[in-house]
């Protein structure tokens, strides 16, 4: 049994605060406003969710498709319906017994076009350090001659000026009236008072900003941004005044009951995540708050963070890899090696190289700033003065490349947790092995500085620059990991591409049910109200695509033969420029998205492959596309979609794997909906719909056909296809959670694994005060079950009592139950105790 007394108080909302039992994520935009979502409320209530989980609602940059590029914290986006529209939605949801959860973006704001859409940033560009908003943004005023770098020019500034592309003009600036401004095509910038009549070159030099060629950003940027995105400028919410100003509206929405809980975007980018969350808990009176936190491997959520837990990526990869066959690792690795030259144990090297490229490329400006900061500390201390800029730079680069997580959680002036210190020391040990012995002493100094230890002159541990170095290093770690691993290495590693997921662990090819059970038991104690997920707006692939890819591990030899056959059929269409990695990528993408209706549409495939090639950064880049290479790859893809032989092979594969895909789709969904935590259903994933990375997974979802499907199932009709079956499993599990919340999110809720005789079953019970109330049975690796001739005499130990399967209506008596009859109609069972 686990109960609230064992769970850290930081992980629990304050008494009386609402707690979602489940959520349904919607991606708001011009095509899905608050009123549109309000029309979906009856369907969502029927589906069984308890809370609608909204993407960011504050006013974003013009044309934003996601809302994470906020420009005004004091306004609900008019394009979504404004504050009145949000309140109408809240009223409709509340009338149906639903609540709202809001996505909040504390780390950054947009640098929009024109800049005036962000009034705070416009003020800073106009008045510099004298602006009342100067403390909002993380700008290094000592760099760039005291001017904020604005890298928006399409060419070097001299050439732009010579061509007359920069002009002074009169514009009606919202909130300021008619003003003299500096225009560069669609970009508009304020002109510093008193400089309007200067010659253009002199005028440019007198502004509080420096217009520059866009390529300059990666080398000289002097404001912190979101990863390498120059159009997202970091916000200093560690300043109490900035926190209050940027959170006032959200806090008011919580206080008046419009929303019930918050999802916090990218807390690792903040200077002090623990301090931020503590302030947020106090300001919200202990509301339910989860954080988009990537935990690497077995890393635990920091104990001093005031949050219910993560948004569920740690659950996602574990569920996914429990439904991957470990026996497929070697054959799929061998296939990868034949086609790409990458060996099964090369993953760490792929990651290392990708991180080095990112550190030396798009994130060079951040590393340069770190090095300059460290060098200034050393230069001012006689005992550290001989540690050169170059030596410090090399040590910082190697540490960033070697560091295996998003940050080390060191807070200046506070005692460092041993785990955080160990993580940094371990990275330093690896970094030293890649450097000359001469750099060892400098590495020691760097590590001591980053851990806030005494180093240099006696007693020196703190100081403005030392504290800044500690904080900035951690913020840079997250950017290097995100851009180097998730946005580069994950597009290069092709053993089983579905494992390359946000927060994933591709090096751990598969998990056992016991692995999953051990994690779930820990989670029930550590973070019982954290979120679980299988798909988000940021996942590299939707859950249904990953389920199809997982089946490759169950039939690796058959898959290898298929790849050999399609390669032979397309040999004449395959240019010598098409490399093995992208070819692997193509064939697995087709397998992951091929349904009974056929292949993915050409437009979706072309868009996805183009993005994948550029993210891989091996032959073509967003900033320098290789049109010839891309054309060669896309020609091969189009040939595959139109080649009768290839289509026949994939159609046969889809039919052959249909049973295994069905078991994986229903099994992963049921497990996600019933494990410890608060499950989120991403829009449209209640049915079978293989999707790819954004924007593919953010396409408009028509809810009316979904509502019609659900109504037909509720009237007693049998499922007609996998989508019907997935909707049945999703709705029945969500409704059961809603009707029996004590078994899932109550203070006496528990998780207990159940004994079973087969490694192909995932079985456990959800309990209330040690009494089993719900039993889950799911098929794992159905292709192997089929090869073995079915379930034979395998059994599962169901707790004593009378049970009913809410998916089929079948009555089940407790005791040692044979699996075959239990899973006769569906590859999963969801039993609820009668009475």
Q: Encode pLDDT of 556-584 as tens digits.
A: 999 999 999 999 999 999 999 999 999 99
pLDDT class of 4 with cuts at 50, 70, 90: very low
* Sequence-ordered list of residues with C-beta below 8 angstroms from that of 764, at least 6 positions apart, any chain: 517, 520, 674, 751, 752, 753, 754, 775, 776
Contact in structure between 802 and 811 (CB atoms under 8 Å): yes
Phi, psi values for residue 420, rounded to 5° = -65, -45
In the predicted structure, residue 2 carries a pLDDT above the cut 60: no
Query: Quick check: 320 and 592 in contact, CB under 8 A?
Result: no
Q: What is the pLDDT of residue 5?
A: 53
Q: Report DSSP letters for 639-708, one per residue.
A: HHHH-HHHHHHHHHHHHHTHHHHHHHHHHHHHHHHHSSSEEEEETTTTS----BSTTGGGS---HHHHHH
Compute CA 755 distance to the chain's CA centroid, rounded to the nearest angstrom: 34
Q: Which two tokens stand for residue 535?
A: 């798909």
Q: What is the mean pLDDT of residues 117-129?
A: 95
| Class of residue 659 by CB neighbours under 10 A (exposed 0-12, middle 13-18, buried 19+) | middle
DSSP-derived 3-state class of residue 584? helix
Say how far apart CA 234 and CA 138 lie, in whole Å.
6
Task: For 46-94, write each residue's pLDDT tens digit.
Answer: 999 999 999 999 999 999 999 999 999 999 999 999 999 999 999 999 9
- 414 contacts 272 by C-beta, under 8 angstroms: no
* Rounded average pLDDT over 328-337: 98
Calculate helix-pair angle for 556-569, 644-656, nearest 10 degrees: 170
Q: Per CATH, which fold does 21-106+237-298 belong to? A: TIM Barrel (3.20.20)
CA-to-CA dists, residue 700 to 30, 31, 55, 696, 703, angstroms: 11, 7, 14, 9, 9
Dist. CA 58–CA 73, nearest whole Å: 6
* Number of helical H runs and strand E runs in the chain: 28, 24
Give kind and range of the element (H or E) at residue 418.
Answer: helix 418-433
- If you average pLDDT over residues 339-352, what whole number do you get? 97
Of the candidates 755, 730, 734, 729, the residue with the CA atom closest to the CA atom of residue 744:
734
Mean pLDDT of all residues in 721-745: 98
Distance CA 27, CA 683 (A): 8
- pLDDT of 143 > 70? The answer is no
Nearest to 552 by CA among 583, 592, 586: 592
Question: Where are the strands (E) in 509-576, listed by range?
Answer: 531-532
What pLDDT, on the 0 to 100 scale, is given for residue 222? 84
Is 573:635 a contact under the CB 8 Å cutoff? yes
Structural element, H or E, at residue 473: helix 464-481
pLDDT of 12 > 80? The answer is: yes
Asked which of 104-108, 208-212, 225-229, 315-319 is least confident by mean pLDDT, the reply is 225-229
Residue range 593-612: mean pLDDT, rounded:
98
User: What is residue 24's three-state secondary structure?
Assistant: strand
Position 349 pLDDT exceeds 50: yes
- Enter the CATH code of domain 115-234: 3.30.1590.10
What is the C-alpha to C-alpha distance for residues 378 and 448, in angstroms, rounded to an integer?
Answer: 12
| 515 has pLDDT over 50 | yes
Q: Is the dihedral of CA 137, 143, 145, 149 positive or negative?
A: negative
Which residues make Cβ contacts (< 8 Å) with residue 353, sequence separation at least 6?
A: none
Q: What is the value of pTM for the model shown? A: 0.96
The encoded tokens of residue 208 equal 């509080």
> What are the domain boundaries of the chain?
21-106+237-298, 115-234, 369-385+397-476
Q: How many residues does the chain have?
A: 835
What is the model's pLDDT at position 1?
Answer: 35
CA distance 263 to 272: 17
- pLDDT of residue 25 exceeding 60: yes
pLDDT value at residue 229: 83
In contact, 400 and 480? CB cutoff 8 Å: yes
Strand stretches in 365-491, DSSP E:
none
Residues 6 or more apart whose CB falls under 8 angstroms from that of 46 comprise 707, 710, 711, 714, 731
Work out whether strand 23-26 and strand 51-54 pair parallel, antiparallel, or are unpaired.
parallel
Q: Which of 106, 100, 103, 102 is nearest to 73 (CA)?
A: 106
DSSP state letter for 456:
S
By CB atoms closer than 10 A (0-12, 13-18, 19+), residue 735 is middle
Phi, psi of 230 (to 5 degrees): -65, -20
How many Cα neighbours within 13 Å face the side chain of 623? 12
Other beta carbons within 10 Å of 629: 18
Mean pLDDT, range 231-259, rounded to an integer: 97
Structure tokens at 231: 């159009």
For residues 387 and 374, give the distance between their C-alpha atoms in angstroms, rounded to a whole number.
10
b/e map of 8-47 (b: 16 or more CB within 10 Å)?
Answer: eebbbbeeebbbbbbbbbbbbbeebbbebbbebbebbbbb
In the predicted structure, residue 711 carries a pLDDT above the cut 50: yes
Beta bridge partners of 728: none
Q: Are 272 and 264 in contact (CB under 8 A)?
A: no
Residue 3 pLDDT greater than 50, yes or no: no
- Among residues 263, 269, 272, 267, the alpha carbon closest in space to that of 238 is found at 272
Q: Which residue from 283, 262, 380, 361 is spatially nearest to 18, judged by alpha carbons?
A: 262
Which tokens belong to 709? 């499907």
pLDDT of res. 144? 58
Beta-carbon contacts of residue 294 (< 8 Å; ≥ 6 apart): 268, 313, 406, 481, 482, 502, 503
The percent of residues in the chain predicted with pLDDT above 90, rounded, is 94
Question: Does the pLDDT of residue 219 top 90, yes or no?
Answer: no
What is the rounded CA–CA span in Å between residue 196 and residue 183? 13
């Amino acid at each position: 049994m686990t109960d609230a007394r064992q769970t850290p108080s930081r992980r629990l909302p304050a008494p009386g605060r609402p707690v979602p039992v489940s959520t349904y994520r919607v991606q708001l935009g011009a095509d899905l406003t608050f009123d549109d979502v309000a029309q979906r409320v009856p369907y969502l209530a029927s589906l069984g969710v308890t809370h609608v989980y909204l993407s960011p609602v504050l006013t974003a940059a013009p044309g934003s498709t996601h809302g994470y590029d906020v420009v005004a914290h004091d306004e609900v986006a008019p394009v979504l319906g404004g504050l009145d529209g949000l309140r109408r939605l809240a009223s409709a949801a509340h009338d149906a017994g639903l609540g709202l959860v809001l996505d909040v973006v504390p780390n950054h704001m947009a640098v929009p076009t024109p800049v005036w859409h962000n009034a705070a940033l416009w003020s800073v560009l106009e008045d510099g350090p004298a602006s009342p908003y100067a403390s909002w943004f993380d700008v290094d005023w000592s760099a760039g001659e005291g001017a904020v770098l604005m890298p928006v020019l399409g060419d070097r500034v001299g050439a732009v000026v010579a061509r007359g592309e920069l002009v002074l003009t009169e514009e009606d600036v919202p909130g300021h009236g008619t003003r003299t401004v500096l225009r560069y095509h669609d970009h508009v910038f304020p002109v510093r008072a008193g400089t309007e009549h200067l010659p253009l070159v002199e005028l440019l030099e007198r502004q509080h900003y420096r217009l520059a060629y866009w390529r300059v950003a990666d080398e000289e940027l002097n404001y912190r941004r979101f990863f390498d995105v120059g159009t997202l400028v970091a916000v200093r919410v560690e300043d109490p005044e900035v926190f209050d100003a940027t959170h006032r509206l959200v806090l008011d929405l919580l206080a008046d009951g419009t929303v019930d809980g918050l999802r916090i975007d990218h807390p690792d980018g903040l200077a002090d995540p623990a301090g931020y969350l503590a302030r947020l808990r106090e300001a919200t009176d202990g509301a339910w708050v989860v954080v988009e936190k990537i935990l690497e491997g077995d890393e635990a959520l920091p104990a001093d963070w005031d949050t219910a837990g993560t948004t569920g990526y740690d659950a996602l990869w574990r569920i996914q890899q429990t439904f991957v066959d470990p026996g497929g690792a070697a054959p799929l690795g061998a296939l990868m090696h034949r086609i790409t030259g990458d060996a099964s144990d090369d993953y760490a090297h792929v990651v290392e190289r990708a991180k080095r490229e990112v550190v030396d490329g798009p994130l060079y400006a951040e590393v340069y700033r770190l090095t300059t900061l460290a060098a200034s500390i050393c230069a001012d201390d006689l005992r550290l003065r001989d540690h050169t800029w170059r030596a410090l730079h090399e040590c910082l680069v190697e540490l960033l490349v070697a560091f295996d997580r998003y940050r080390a959680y060191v807070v200046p002036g506070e005692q460092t947790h041993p785990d955080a210190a160990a993580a940094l020391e371990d990275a330093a040990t690896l970094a030293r092995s890649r450097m000359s012995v001469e750099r060892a002493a400098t590495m020691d100094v760097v590590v001591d500085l980053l851990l806030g230890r005494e180093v240099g002159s006696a007693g020196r541990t703190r100081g403005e620059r030392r504290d800044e170095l500690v904080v900035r290093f951690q913020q840079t770690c997250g950017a290097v990991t995100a851009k180097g691993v998730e946005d580069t290495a994950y597009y290069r590693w092709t053993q089983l591409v579905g494992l390359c997921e946000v927060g994933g662990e591709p090096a751990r090819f598969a998990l056992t049910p016991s692995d999953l059970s051990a994690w779930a038991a820990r989670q029930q104690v550590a973070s019982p109200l954290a979120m679980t997920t299988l798909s988000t707006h940021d996942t590299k692939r939707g859950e249904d695509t990953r389920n199809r890819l997982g089946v490759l591990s169950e039939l690796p030899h058959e898959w290898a033969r298929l790849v050999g056959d399609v390669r032979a059929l397309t040999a004449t269409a395959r240019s010598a420029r098409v490399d093995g990695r992208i070819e692997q990528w193509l064939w697995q993408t087709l397998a992951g998205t091929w349904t009974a209706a056929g292949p993915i549409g050409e437009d979706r495939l072309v868009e996805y492959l183009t993005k994948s090639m550029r993210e891989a950064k091996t032959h073509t880049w967003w900033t320098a596309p290789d049109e010839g290479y891309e054309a060669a790859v896309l020609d091969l893809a189009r040939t595959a979609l139109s080649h009768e032989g290839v289509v026949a092979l994939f159609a046969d594969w889809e039919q052959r794997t249909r049973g295994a895909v069905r078991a994986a789709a229903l099994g992963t969904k049921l497990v996600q909906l019933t494990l410890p935590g608060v499950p989120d259903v991403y829009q449209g994933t209640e049915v079978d719909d293989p999707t790819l990375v954004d924007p593919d997974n953010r396409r408009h979802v028509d809810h009316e056909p979904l509502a019609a499907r659900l109504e037909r199932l509720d009237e007693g009709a049998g499922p007609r296809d996998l989508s019907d079956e997935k909707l049945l499993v999703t709705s029945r599990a969500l409704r059961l959670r809603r009707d029996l919340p004590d078994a899932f999110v109550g203070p006496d809720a528990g998780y207990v694994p159940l004994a079973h005789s087969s490694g192909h079953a995932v079985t456990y019970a959800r309990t209330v005060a040690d009494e089993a109330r719900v039993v889950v049975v799911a098929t794992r690796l159905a292709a192997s079950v089929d090869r073995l001739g079915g379930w034979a005499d395998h059994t599962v130990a169901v707790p004593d009592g009378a049970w009913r399967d809410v998916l089929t209506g079948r009555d089940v008596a407790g005791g040692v139950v044979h699996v075959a009859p239990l899973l006769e109609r569906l590859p999963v069972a969801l039993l609820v105790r009668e009475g």
